[in-house]
Amino acid sequence: MSDTFEGEAAIVTGASRGIGSGIATELAERGASVVVNYRSSEDRAEAVVDEIRDDGGEAVAVQADVSDEDDVAAMVEATVDRYGSLDVMVNNAGMTTLGPAEEIDLDDWRRVIDVDLTGVFIGCQAAGRQMLSQPDGGSIVNVASMMGEMGFHMRAPYCAAKAGVINLTRTLAVEWATEDVTVNALAPGFIKTDITDQTQGSAGYTDDDIRRRTPMARYGTVQEMANCVGFLARGDTYVTGEVLRADGGWTSDAWRYHENRA
Ligand code: NAP
């Protein structure tokens, strides 16, 4: 495997918008045939596919709920039927809920754990089964969060799920290390997408707060996350079980709040 993904097939879960759509587009630009997974936004997923095809790439939209084992198995099977292999699996789909821990409804807790943690396990397991059966193995990249490494108020299920994703990543990396299947995680900081817009108002911080707290003084971009996944998915780096923090320096900085920063 190399920097280009020519002749390889990739699945990106939750690729109808946000970080996932950027990852799908980037992998397609680098030559991969890409399955653009979505749960409910078919129109948006088809728009991502159209954009990739307009740029000369290959992609198809596939509906699957990542928390449903049968859906995900069928998506992997459809990928292998269509493209002959599954070389890159990006478990990106995610959601969150906000609320004080003492008030969180157990159904909301379970919904976040189901999608953000169990969904990643289901994706890894389905992809792993296929990759372990292939002579060239494959690469799995799980999109975690810096909130999987630090506590963050109002997000108990999300932080717990993302912490689980990080140690699941290390565990699978160790289990599959001799089989040419790498498993790595990306831990983004604040990236401007629907999820940040949706949570920002009710979470009580502003764009200025993020700028003041982040050493790089800005949000990360979807393209920057896609670039990171492009690296982690390469499989020719001797890197497995790694958690790549792409957070503008946030988790490296224990104390920073620039009151006077514009
Ligand atoms: P987003 O804009 O809200 O997009 C979420 C994507 O996930 C959508 O394509 C959505 O598809 C899909 N999805 C949700 N539940 C699904 C399910 N059960 N099955 C299949 N697809 C499902 O989110 P984002 O900001 O791009 O975040 C992407 C990932 O990065 C998430 O894992 C998130 O936790 C992580 N992350 C984001 C940030 C950030 O600042 N944005 C920071 C750290 C980590 P539908 O539209 O069809 O529902």
pTM attached to this predicted model: 0.97
Q: Which domain holds residue 71?
A: 9-234
Residues constituting the chain: 262
The tally of domains found in the chain comes to 1
- DSSP 3-state of 185: strand
Domain-embedded: residue 245: no
Q: Is 114 in the pocket of ligand 1 (CB under 6 A)?
A: no
38 is catalytic: no
For β-strands 88-91 and 58-63, DSSP reports them as unpaired
Q: Is 188 in the pocket of ligand 1 (CB under 6 A)?
A: yes
Whether 1 has a pLDDT exceeding 50, the answer reads no
Domain-embedded: residue 139: yes
**Quick one: CA torsion of 164, 127, 174, 177, rounded to 10 degrees?**
-160
Whether 235 has a pLDDT exceeding 90, the answer reads no
For 62-79, what is the mean pLDDT? 98
Q: What is the pLDDT of residue 255?
A: 83
**Pocket probe mutation, ligand 1, options 44, 75, 95, 243, max atoms within 8 Å of Cβ:** 95
* Distance of CA 115 from the midpoint of ligand 1 (Å): 10
Whether 200 has a pLDDT exceeding 70, the answer reads no
Domain-embedded: residue 250: no
For residue 29, CA distances in Å to 51, 93, 133, 171, 226 come to: 11, 21, 27, 31, 11
Domain-embedded: residue 46: yes
Domain-embedded: residue 63: yes
For β-strands 181-188 and 243-246, DSSP reports them as parallel
Q: Is 196 in the pocket of ligand 1 (CB under 6 A)?
A: yes
CATH of the domain at 172: 3.40.50.720
pLDDT digit string (tens) for 23-54? 999 999 999 999 999 999 999 999 999 999 99
**Residues ≥6 apart with Cβ < 8 Å to 216:** 248, 249
* Distance of CA 217 from the midpoint of ligand 1 (Å): 24
Domain-embedded: residue 243: no
Taking all residues of the chain, what is their mean pLDDT, rounded to a whole number?
Answer: 94
Domain-embedded: residue 254: no
Q: What is the pLDDT of residue 262?
A: 58
Domain-embedded: residue 79: yes
Whether 198 has a pLDDT exceeding 80, the answer reads no
Q: Is 160 in the pocket of ligand 1 (CB under 6 A)?
A: no
